[in-house]
Structure 1
């Protein structure tokens, strides 16, 4: 099966980049009303609608939600790519729609999406609110869960560019977790099902991004929604969309999330989940914080009136500007940087550092605008 061709035929072209809000998806929801059931399930703190989409009429129910963190939009794009595939109705799409009923909340946190923040309008992290249920969005998510009575839950997120996998680290382009359901991190039949689906999704992704699939730490936290739903005996899978080389808009990563969703559905549909794939799951390397966006090597600085050679790193901060997300580089660490890697690494060949204000020493949290030597000018972390 040619997943590349399937994805290319169904990619939702109107969704692009990191800034995805209700305004971007509402025209798409209007189109989907002709095929699927589209509803308004409730409202956010700021009274923005939280939409639901029900697709399929099968006996196996899968509950999917995205953007409970408002600035984590990659999986939302992939969900609409998937809905286009299901709507376009080829043989596999018909099989899925006959076997599954999907209930999707594409943007759980529309206030955070519009503000491009992780938290909601009350500055609460919805993924730490599964016990208190202090926020209307958290209450809505739980009510949908209880009403739909899913057989599986897919909890969709983005992860930062700092994560890598493997001993010779590659970026963690996609990561998964079958959350623990207790402090002992035991594996029961419920968690086993989530583990088996992840093992199959990883097997598919290794054909496209070998060595770039990670596994999140499974320490138990009942305040997290995935841990809560796993403890309520519903197999729950955390999806994390991460960095792919030069893909800060996450347009390549959305494709791999689509591949993961497709292969996950296929795995459940073909009922291969009776197998024990614990070993395959734990063979997926655990995420490690090992990356900076930019590392500058062998640069001369003046430290306490002494010349020395060192390395330093810059990291992008995502800033909402004029309804678009821009990436601003700030100096984040200075020193040997042993064990750290850059998504881009620049050899400064021992030339001298000079900041924009004339300092000969990089300062943490300064904008990454500087000179290396007399002729190499860097603006926003990049050489121009």
Structure 2
């Protein structure tokens, strides 16, 4: 399958970090009749949770995004995927015949509206896979049971702190084949997850070499990916991360879209056996060595954190009047890494850097 020209696929009026059903409903409702749109449940506050189904083939792929309401990059990517399917009717006929895609673009609409990780009851839905205490968790489980997916794509965002392995490259995209037991053994479903990730990584290395990481695979039965893997359904965790100066993650959404398309095409064309578990395991694990800004200047540092070589700043995402603001805060490490990387490094002795620091109100931070 061809990606065509991504600039033509990109849905430009759905952008930024704050995404609710208000932002995507017009697009969803404008999809042609080849897409089945249905209400699959309600949130705590009674907002509709919707799914979009495309195709009628035997390879059923279930995708859900914004399980955490403030993780919207993958929602934008699935909107782009839907637009691709809508615009390339002849090109995607093979998908329609071989696959059935079911996409829940926003599983946690209350969290999306509040721009919080948790739902309206302050529960992390990705720790509710066993208790199923929340309506949104029960919605996903019912869709999973009724749809009987061949593969699951669990779509998330990750923080800007992650780097790839021990390198100074950000983990712009990370993947995980979730464990199904405490020993983190392999199973047929987990091995398929690993192979499909290897395929998507192979594609992304063409775009962002060295910027794909592997997420920690510690087992937690309360996490949805682990729970579905326990059900012998191959499941993949996607984590959209940071790309240089892309805090709104418009570039990262493109990489997620291309990974999704590669995943679907690999399953469609039965080429998953071309990729190995070893290729998956060769993806470096994520480190946690990044901060958003490092300020270097002896006098400035001595007035703030006297025991540090540099002042580390991390942005806090705050919803303000329908937009997400990135507010700087001094970052204190629980355990400071051996080596620290920053998405931006500034020196108070540099005139241009000092001007930027003043414009962004970074000189008056208090520890």
Please report the TM-score for the alignment, with normalisation by the length of structure 2: 0.92
Residues 181-210 of structure 1: per-residue CA shift (max 9 Å, x gap): 111111121111111110000000000000
Q: Which residue of 1 aligns with 2:340?
A: 340
Q: Which residue of 2 aligns with 1:183?
A: 182
C-alpha RMSD over aligned residues: 2.6
Q: Which residue of 2 aligns with 1:141?
A: 140
Task: Report SS of the residue matched to 1:228.
Answer: helix
Residues 288-316 of structure 1: per-residue CA shift (max 9 Å, x gap): 11100000113315859999984101111
Cα gap change, 1:137 to 1:309, in 2 (>3 Å): closer
For 2:79 and 2:206, the matched residues in 1 are separated by: 23
Task: Report SS of the residue matched to 2:228.
Answer: helix
Q: Which residue of 2 aligns with 1:282?
A: 281
The alpha carbon displacement at 1:168 in A equals 2.4
Alignment of 1:147-166 (within 5 A): 147-166=146-165
Alignment of 1:239-318 (within 5 A): 239-275=238-274, 277-301=276-300, 310-318=309-317
Q: Which residue of 2 aligns with 1:381?
A: 362
For 2:218 and 2:87, the matched residues in 1 are separated by: 40
For 1:6 and 1:301, the matched residues in 2 are separated by: 47
Query: Is contact 1:300–1:309 with CA below 8 Å preserved after alignment?
Result: no
For 1:227 and 1:31, the matched residues in 2 are separated by: 35
For 2:104 and 2:46, the matched residues in 1 are separated by: 16
The alpha carbon displacement at 1:88 in A equals 1.5
The higher-RCO structure (CA 8 Å, 6+ apart) is 2
More strand by percentage: 1
Q: Which residue of 1 aligns with 2:79?
A: 80
For 2:361 and 2:190, the matched residues in 1 are separated by: 44
For 1:147 and 1:336, the matched residues in 2 are separated by: 47
Cα gap change, 1:131 to 1:299, in 2 (>3 Å): same
Alignment of 1:84-95 (within 5 A): 84-95=83-94
For 1:94 and 1:290, the matched residues in 2 are separated by: 44
The alpha carbon displacement at 1:158 in A equals 0.3
Please report the TM-score for the alignment, with normalisation by the length of structure 1: 0.88
Task: Report SS of the residue matched to 1:333.
Answer: coil
Query: Is contact 2:301–2:309 with CA below 8 Å preserved after alignment?
Result: no
Cα gap change, 1:208 to 1:381, in 2 (>3 Å): farther
Cα gap change, 1:30 to 1:254, in 2 (>3 Å): same
For 2:61 and 2:104, the matched residues in 1 are separated by: 11
For 2:159 and 2:204, the matched residues in 1 are separated by: 19
Q: Which residue of 2 aligns with 1:231?
A: 230
Larger Rg belongs to? 1
The alpha carbon displacement at 1:90 in A equals 4.3
Alignment of 1:12-91 (within 5 A): 12-91=11-90
Cα gap change, 1:382 to 1:15, in 2 (>3 Å): farther
The alpha carbon displacement at 1:376 in A equals 6.9
Query: Is contact 1:202–1:213 with CA below 8 Å preserved after alignment?
Result: yes
Cα gap change, 1:155 to 1:307, in 2 (>3 Å): closer
The alpha carbon displacement at 1:141 in A equals 0.4
Q: What are structure 2's unaligned runs of at least 5 residues?
A: none
More divergent stretch after superposition (324-333 vs 58-67): 324-333
| Count of residues in correspondence between the two structures | 362
The alpha carbon displacement at 1:347 in A equals 2.3
For 2:138 and 2:81, the matched residues in 1 are separated by: 27
For 1:145 and 1:2, the matched residues in 2 are separated by: 29
Q: What are structure 1's unaligned runs of at least 5 residues?
A: 352-370
Cα gap change, 1:323 to 1:280, in 2 (>3 Å): same
Note if 1:218 corresponds to 2:231.
Answer: no
Cα gap change, 1:300 to 1:139, in 2 (>3 Å): same
Q: Which residue of 2 aligns with 1:356?
A: none
